[in-house]
Every structure is written in structure tokens, then in C-alpha cells.
Structure 1
Amino acid sequence: MSFFQLLMKRKELIPLVLFTTVAATGALSFALYSLRKTDVIIDRKRNPEPWETVDPTAPRKLITINQEWKPIEELQEVRKATR
């Protein structure tokens, strides 16, 4: 008996399979979306300091509301001194 024959025999399982499939697809999609972001470190050997390449003007969150980035002067001075 195949999977589809079982679903046709027990029609009450169709919503359960549908919701489980949608949830798994959504979780996989969000995981792949999160891996593409620049603040996620996958390979530390090729890029040991990935935080240096992060664009401060690009939003880091899925939804950003009223966010403005302003550089902190003391941190900029420290960064210039350590280079």
C-alpha cells in the first residue's frame, strides 16, 4: 500500500500531512534564509573576522522597524588605532 493510497483510505490524515509539510517547508526556508545572512559564520578558517565585512546600513533582522545606525566615535578610534 503506497502513501497516497493510505491517504485516500484515511482522509482524516490529509490536513495533518498538509500542515506538517507546510511547517517543514517554512522551517527549511527560514534556515536557508538565515544562512545567507552575513552575520552567520559557517567557515571561520577562510574568513576569521566576518564582522569586519558586515554592512552597518543593511538590516540584520527579518523585520526592522525605525532603526537607525550611528557609529560610536570611541569605537571608531579604537578600530583605527588597532589597524
Structure 2
Amino acid sequence: MSFLKFMMKKKELIPLFAFVGFAGLGATYMCIYSLFKTDVIVNRKKNPEPWENVNPYEPQKLLTIHQKWEPVEELKMVKQLTK
């Protein structure tokens, strides 16, 4: 029996399959989206310390509402001392 025939016979399962399909697509999208973030390491040999290249002015959260990003002065001082 094909999937469409099964769905026509059991119409009450249509919302269930829709929600499960939507959740699966959302989870797949978030996995792919997370791979392109700056804090995720995919290739450690090419860039072993990616946290050195993070821009302090760029927000690293998924959602930011009315928040200013300013660098921390102490971290700037430590970075200058370690160079």
C-alpha cells in the first residue's frame, strides 16, 4: 500500500505527520545553520583556535533584541599582553 493511500484511509494522522515533518526540517536546518557559526569547529587542523578570530562587535547569540555589544577592556588588555 502506498503512503498516499494510507494517508487517505487514516486522515486523522495527517496533522501528526505534518508536525513531525516540520520538526525534522527545523532540526535539520538548525544543524546546518550551526555549522556556519564562528564558535563551531569543523576542521581543527585548519583553524585550531577559532575563538581568537571572534569579532567582539558581532553578536554570537541566536536572537539579540536591543543589546549593544562592546569589547571588554580587560580582555583587550590580556590579548595585547599575550601577543
TM-score (norm 1): 0.85
Question: How many residue pairs end up in the alignment?
Answer: 83
Q: Which runs of 5 or more structure 2 residues have no equivalent in the other structure?
A: none
2:15 is the counterpart of 1:12: no
Paired position in structure 2 for 1:75: 75
Paired position in structure 2 for 1:38: 38
* Alpha-carbon distance, 1:73 to partner: 2.7
Higher relative contact order (CA 8 A, sep 6+): 1
* Alpha-carbon distance, 1:14 to partner: 1.0
Letter in 1 for 2:76: Q
Q: Percent identity?
A: 55
Aligned-residue CA RMSD in angstroms? 1.4
Letter in 1 for 2:80: K
Q: Which runs of 5 or more structure 1 residues have no equivalent in the other structure?
A: none
TM-score (norm 2): 0.85
